[in-house]
């Protein structure tokens, strides 16, 4: 490819001179570190264009196909995001492939330095990113700050790459040593869901970069704004052109990322249908794939637990983020007399304020779209028809402020007498709906949970160490909490969802993340000293055994 050299007084910068760079008009982002949305827009405000990002440049897509991004609290269109054109997808992948050999040659200490700077910029821009999340995704501002923080923590852990990527060396024979190093794979594609617009791109991106890979990221077409800011910060931190690219769209984009031979690995987080498709197609083409899928997380409460501690925990875990967390508690398993504690949960849930994410008084915001609201209503109705009882009905909830009369709001909802076979138990609702199943013993609880197809998270509340140990040894779920309702490990460990909640062999971030993003290479070298036995210098055709 041709290169153009821009000369200035004291230095020169080589930039790729692609068709892309010549023809695309650059776009300025709609927010800055000091200027970002602090309230909802109205029908008269022109939606901003979500740009794409290739070669460290933001540009407006040439696409004829654009998707509306609605503010879930008002349903006004706040932005438009393109289905990236085939040429734009090609440009993004080509840019990442071209940058790979250059980025791979950056010393580890240089990549670490950029990661430190990236962390600093993420922290400085936290409120800016959070505000865009509130506008596009709907969660409360404090919760959106948490979304950024959990991603930031992965970026912080990635700064430890100088330790995490250390190889192994052994003198295996006289004057001969073998060292094992791990090398990057090449271009890695990351496909993200709507519910954590900052955290999920940051689950993979920092490690993709520090391990020496390059990236093509496809944020959810429903909430791309946070990923766009993250890309800007990465470039500002010193990530060179081409190392991180952002494309948009739906199936056509995903299919290109799966099929293009330059992409060596795919990281996916989202629902079961897309995840299975991407995993099966990606692995059949010989790619590494890690796919975090849907969930149904249970919390078991034993009669010996601290009741108030439990009630506080369940309300946050079930209804926070409007239940749109992959680790939200969606099933409460009451053991024995704890079924009577449901009244306390209901009374506390009634106190939660549902409303605008920009209102500091709100405890939870709206659902992502009207389709999700309709689906939740259908599941609630169907489950009630089939034997469940509505202990708290959040349907029809409208915030007092008229501006939000068209928002996708569902108040906290509690269904009791839920059983397997009812939709509320069998399906992931992804809404502030808590299904309560009552059992008589801890063994029944374990049997119920182990028979569920998902294995993302589970929690037990008890004051008995031996009951907790009995439970944690027998439960077949990847992330287990004891008196901790949402047991997502910090990123010095990995996110270890299992069974139906994960496809692949190596989990996101932590040691598994580094292993997923690198391949081992062994180098065996012999440097003979001058004092060696003459015998060894004689040629031999027998199998070397290196004693």
Write the CB contacts of 178 (distance below 8 Å, at least 6 apart in sequence). Answer: 169, 170, 172, 522, 523, 524, 525
Closest to ligand NAD by CB, 462 or 494: 494
Is position 221 an interface residue for ligand NAD (rule: CB under 6 A)? Answer: yes
Between residue 483 and residue 512, which ones bind ligand NAD under the rule CB under 6 A?
497, 501
Paired residues of 149 in beta bridges: none
Exactly one of 206, 294, 487, 513 binds ligand NAD (CB under 6 A); that residue is 294
Closest to ligand NAD by CB, 311 or 431: 431
Is residue 530 packed enough to be buried (19+ CB in 10 Å), middle (13-18) or exposed (0-12)?
Answer: exposed
Residue burial 181-210, b: 16+ Cβ < 10 Å; e: rest: ebebbbbbbbbbbbbbbbbbbbbbbbbbbb
Closest to ligand NAD by CB, 79 or 456: 456
Is 21 within 8 Å of 57 (Cβ atoms)? yes
Is position 260 an interface residue for ligand NAD (rule: CB under 6 A)? Answer: no
Is 282 within 8 Å of 258 (Cβ atoms)? yes
Is position 192 an interface residue for ligand NAD (rule: CB under 6 A)? Answer: yes
* Nearest Cα residue to 441 out of 340, 296, 309, 333: 333
Which tokens belong to 357? 């994410």
Is position 456 an interface residue for ligand NAD (rule: CB under 6 A)? Answer: yes
Strand order in the sheet with 457-461: 389-392, 413-416, 433-439, 329-335, 297-301, 457-461, 479-482
- Give the shortest CB-100-to-ligand NAD separation in angstroms: 23
**Which single residue brings its beta carbon nearest to ligand NAD?**
270
Is position 250 an interface residue for ligand NAD (rule: CB under 6 A)? Answer: yes
Is position 267 an interface residue for ligand NAD (rule: CB under 6 A)? Answer: no
Exactly one of 73, 243, 274, 410 binds ligand NAD (CB under 6 A); that residue is 274
Is position 194 an interface residue for ligand NAD (rule: CB under 6 A)? Answer: yes
Binding residues with ligand NAD: total (CB under 6 A): 29
Closest to ligand NAD by CB, 165 or 373: 373
192 noted as active-site residue: no
In what helix (H) or strand (E) does residue 416 lie, and over which residues does it extend?
A: strand 413-416
Closest to ligand NAD by CB, 131 or 324: 324
Which of 326, 354, 388, 480 is labelled catalytic?
326
Tell me which stretch binds ligand NAD (CB under 6 A): 38-46, 49-57, 189-197, 388-396. Answer: 189-197
Closest to ligand NAD by CB, 54 or 295: 295
Report CA Rg, the chain: 26
* Nearest Cα residue to 259 out of 216, 303, 204: 216
- Give the shortest CB-294-to-ligand NAD separation in angstroms: 4
Range list of H helices, 106-158: 108-124, 126-137, 141-158
Positions marked catalytic? 326
Which residues of this protein are in contact with ligand NAD, per CB under 6 A? 191-196, 200, 218, 220-221, 250-251, 254, 269-271, 273-274, 277, 292-295, 326, 428, 430, 456, 497, 501
């Amino acid at each position: 490819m041709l290169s153009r050299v821009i000369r200035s007084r004291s230095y020169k910068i080589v930039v790729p001179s692609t068709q892309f760079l010549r023809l695309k008009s650059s776009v300025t982002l709609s927010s800055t570190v000091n200027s970002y949305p602090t309230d909802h827009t109205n029908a008269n405000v022109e939606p901003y264009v979500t740009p794409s990002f290739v070669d460290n440049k933001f540009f407006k897509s040439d696409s004829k196909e654009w998707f509306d991004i609605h503010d879930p609290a008002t349903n006004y269109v706040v932005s438009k995001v393109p289905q990236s054109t085939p040429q734009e997808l090609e440009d993004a992948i080509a840019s990442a492939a071209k940058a790979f050999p250059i980025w791979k040659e950056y010393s580890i200490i240089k990549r670490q330095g950029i990661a430190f700077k990236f962390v600093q910029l993420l922290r400085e821009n936290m409120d800016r990113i959070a505000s865009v999340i509130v506008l596009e995704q709907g969660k409360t501002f404090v919760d959106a700050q948490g979304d950024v923080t959990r991603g930031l923590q992965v970026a912080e852990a990635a700064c430890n790459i100088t330790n995490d990527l250390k190889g192994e060396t052994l003198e295996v024979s006289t004057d001969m040593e073998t060292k094992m190093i791990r090398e990057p794979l090449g271009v890695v594609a990351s496909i993200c869901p709507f519910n954590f617009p900052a955290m999920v791109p940051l689950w993979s991106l920092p490690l993709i970069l520090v391990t020496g890979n390059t990236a093509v990221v496809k944020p959810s077409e429903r909430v791309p704004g946070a990923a766009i800011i993250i890309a800007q910060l990465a470039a500002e931190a010193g990530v060179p052109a081409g190392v991180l690219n952002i494309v948009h769209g739906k199936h056509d984009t995903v299919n290109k990322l799966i099929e293009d031979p330059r992409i060596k690995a795919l990281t996916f987080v989202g629902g079961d249908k897309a995840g299975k498709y991407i995993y099966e197609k990606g692995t059949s083409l010989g790619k590494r794939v890690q796919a975090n899928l849907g969930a149904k997380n249970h919390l078991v409460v034993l009669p010996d637990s601290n009741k108030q501690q439990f009630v506080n925990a369940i309300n946050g875990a079930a209804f926070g983020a409007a239940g749109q967390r992959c680790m939200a508690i969606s099933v409460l398993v009451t053991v024995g007399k704890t079924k009577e504690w449901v009244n306390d949960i209901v009374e506390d849930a009634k106190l939660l304020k549902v409303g605008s994410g920009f209102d500091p008084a709100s405890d939870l915001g709206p659902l992502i779209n009207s389709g999700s609201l309709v689906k939740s209503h259908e599941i609630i109705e169907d489950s009630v028809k089939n034997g469940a009882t509505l202990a708290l009905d959040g349907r029809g909830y409208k915030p007092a402020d008229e501006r939000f009369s068209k928002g996708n709001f569902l108040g906290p909802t509690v269904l009791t007498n839920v059983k397997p076979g009812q939709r509320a138990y069998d399906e992931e609702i992804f809404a502030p709906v808590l299904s309560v199943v009552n059992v008589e013993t801890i063994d029944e609880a374990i049997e119920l949970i182990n028979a569920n197809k998902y294995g993302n998270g589970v929690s037990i509340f008890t004051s008995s160490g031996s009951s907790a140990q009995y439970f944690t040894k027998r439960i077949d779920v990847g992330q287990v909490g004891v008196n901790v309702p949402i047991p997502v490990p910090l990123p010095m460990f990995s996110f270890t969802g299992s069974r139906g909640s994960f496809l692949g062999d190596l989990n996101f971030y932590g040691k598994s993340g580094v292993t997923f993003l690198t391949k081992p290479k062994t180098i065996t070298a012999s440097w003979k000293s001058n004092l060696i036995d003459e015998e060894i210098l004689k040629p031999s055709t027998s199998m070397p055994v290196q004693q």
